[in-house]
Amino acid sequence: MKFLDLCKVYIRSGSGGNGCVAFRREKFIEYGGPNGGDGGGGGDVWVETVDGLNTLIDFRYQQHFFAENGRAGAGRQMTGRDGDDIVLRVPVGTEILDEDQETVIADLDTLGERLLLARGGNGGWGNLHFKTATNQAPRRANPGQPGVERTIWLRLKLIADVGLLGLPNAGKSTFLASTSNARPKIADYPFTTLYPNLGVVGVDNREFVVADIPGLIEGAHEGRGLGDLFLGHVERCAVLLHLVDGSSGTLLEDYDTILTEIEEYGAGLADKPRIVVLNKIDTMDAEERAFLKDELEAHSGEKVMLMSGASKEGTVDVLRALRPYVDAARAPATPEVDDAWRP
């Protein structure tokens, strides 16, 4: 299944049915009077979050959603049938944006959340409604109100507890594959990851969700590379895991690049808790590990953890460092967060 996190959708609610002009015509009833029924109401357009979806791929093949029109009224005071509603089923974490792609109509981050996007038009009155003492045979009826037509954008922000950050080939997909059942594509060239991957990891009998997004490069916040298209998927995360490639010859520059990009991107990413990890330590000896760790800590002012996603060395310690932040986000009333590993 392909991944799709942004799509344009055209919706239209149903128009109301027309009212009816009719008169009672029966034998031996001289003055039957008006008996035209009202038109039925048009169908509404709803959006609802459902379980089992993690992409908007269904909306690639259908972009137009029209609710049913109401039926016209009839004689004998018969009201027309209401039009059927139509429901857009989306994954949890979907944002509804107006046509300008900036105005947020709703942020659906709860399972089963339901929102009315366009209300159907009211049905028109039949001539029975216009009968008065001075106008006992009205020959007028109201037309049904037209439906509402609008264009909206659906933008998906995945619901994950931990977001992975790093340059291309920093080892994010390898870490996800080694700690979960997710099977992202892994190769020795940049931009192997072309769309976000989710994996459920477990440590100390607790599970949480990790999101792997395409690697960031310098200028990603301005549209370079792929990362800027998917940074929205880590906006909801409780903590960010920043992986730095220990085998890179530009260790400090790599760290600064990622830090600059999340600061320029905004949306509160720079203010989120962040754990820095020196990855790929399986490619270096103990002396080189200690030197690079001290160098990165002195440069960043953060405590740096050591890990190798390929050999799984240090992965459990990293997961245990992430867990307190995930627990705190799931239970905001709990003030205790084990931050002892930080300086």
Query: CA Rg, the chain, in Å?
Result: 29
Domain segments of the chain: what residues?
1-156, 162-330
Report CA-CA distances (Å) from 258 to 197, 210, 255, 298: 19, 18, 6, 17
Residue 332 in marked binding region:
no
| Residue 195 is labelled as binding a ligand | yes
Residue 185 exposure: Cα atoms within 13 Å on the Cβ side? 13
Q: For the residues 91-110, what does the mean pLDDT come to?
A: 92
pLDDT of residue 194: 64
Average pLDDT of the chain to the nearest whole number: 86
Identify the pLDDT of residue 262.
86
308 among annotated binding-site residues: yes
Quote the tokens at residue 297: 């800590």
Confirm whether residue 185 is marked as ligand binding: no
On whether 212 is known to bind a ligand per the annotation, the reply is yes
Mean pLDDT along residues 268-273: 87
Given this model, what pLDDT does residue 343 score? 39
Q: Which residue do the tokens 């800590």 mark?
A: 297
The residue with greater pLDDT, 53 or 88, is 88
Interval 160-185: pLDDT, tens: 889 898 888 888 888 988 888 767 66
Is 194 marked as binding a ligand?
yes
Residue 191, marked binder: yes
Would you place residue 333 in the very low, low, confident or very high pLDDT band (cuts 50, 70, 90)?
very low
The reported pLDDT for the residue numbered 1 is: 46
Asked whether the predicted pLDDT for residue 22 surpasses 90, the reply is yes
By CB atoms closer than 10 A (0-12, 13-18, 19+), residue 299 is middle
Evaluate if residue 335 carries a pLDDT over 50.
Answer: no
User: Annotation-wise, does 169 bind a ligand?
Assistant: yes
Is 157 marked as a binding-site residue? no
Per-residue DSSP letter, 90: E
CATH topology for 162-330? Rossmann fold (3.40.50)
- Annotated ligand binding at 232? The verdict is no
> What contacts 24+ positions apart, CB below 8 Å, involve 133-136?
136/31, 136/33, 136/34
129-151 tens-digit pLDDT: 999 999 999 999 999 999 999 99
103 labeled binding residue: no
pTM as predicted: 0.75
Ligand-binding annotation for 168, yes or no, is: yes
* 333 known member of a binding site: no
Would the annotation count 179 as a binding residue? Answer: no
> Higher-confidence residue: 30 or 251?
251
Q: Is the pLDDT of residue 334 over 70?
A: no
Is the CB of residue 211 less than 8 Å from the CB of residue 163? Answer: yes
Residue 55 in marked binding region: no
CATH architecture of the region 1-156:
Distorted Sandwich (2.70)
